[in-house]
Structure 1
Amino acid sequence: MTDPDSFRPEPAQILLVEDNPGDVRLTKEAFKRGRIENDLHTVSDGTEALAFLEQRGEYADAPRPDLVLLDLNLPRTDGEEVLEELKGDPELRSIPVIVLTSSRAEEDVVRSYELHANAYLTKPVDPDEFIETVRAFEKFWFSVVRLPPEGN
């Protein structure tokens, strides 16, 4: 049987859009514990996220993410605006976006899916549960799901 990790010769490029330093630290810890090689890039607001995704300014050499983890409650440009711009851009819309937020509001869930989020996860309050949640979706998205090649 073939190792599922062997299908991905290069580390996965993940963009984490998160303004809470504690959640950034927990996410990094979860990925470090996982078996899947990845490069986790972090930005702390929606304006930086769009610059990273569009490779503008200081992010001119940024890699195209294989996956975006997006908080909704962000300074400057909020997560909904980032999602709307990302999914409205023909060059970027194929990048899967997982909304990872503390909001349990039904309207946030509905609105995120209307804006074509690929998944909506509510951050657990407990740090161990948070790490387990991150590891579970990492395994799903990088071992089970087949991601689109760049440019599609």
Structure 2
Amino acid sequence: MDLTEADLRWASLIGADLHKAYLSWANLDDAYLYRSDLSSADLTGASFAGATLTGANLRGAAMHCGVVESDQVTGELQLGDCVDLRNARLNDADLRNAEMSDVDFRGALLFRADLRGADLTDANLTDAGFRGAKLTGAKLNGAARTGARGLPPAG
């Protein structure tokens, strides 16, 4: 299902089957995705600010930053918008093996979320809550952790 750049703000998508959906650069701010299946979905550059994803399945979802252009001088790729999960509610969500490097989780709640094997490299976890989350094998290298609760000590 191709929902690239879709405007789904405030949408009620309870139990929606979005398995392998293309939601690149979609706006799902404040959407209600309770127990929705977003497994293996492409969420590149999507925004979920304030969304409710309680019990959602995001196993293997791709949440990368979008590449918007290459630098004319150096040829380096410039990152566009990264996935925005600020203040999102991801309690009990299945995020096993999800690619979430550079994702913005500021103030998000991930209580009891399953993040085993997830890549959170360079993610912004500031003030996020991880009480009871499963983090075995999760990659947290370079993640901003100020005020985050329930994370193992950096090291």
TM-score when normalising by structure 2: 0.27
Structure with more strand by fraction: 1
Pick 1 or 2: higher relative contact order, CA cutoff 8 A, min separation 6.
Answer: 1
TM-score when normalising by structure 1: 0.27
Structure with more helix by fraction: 1
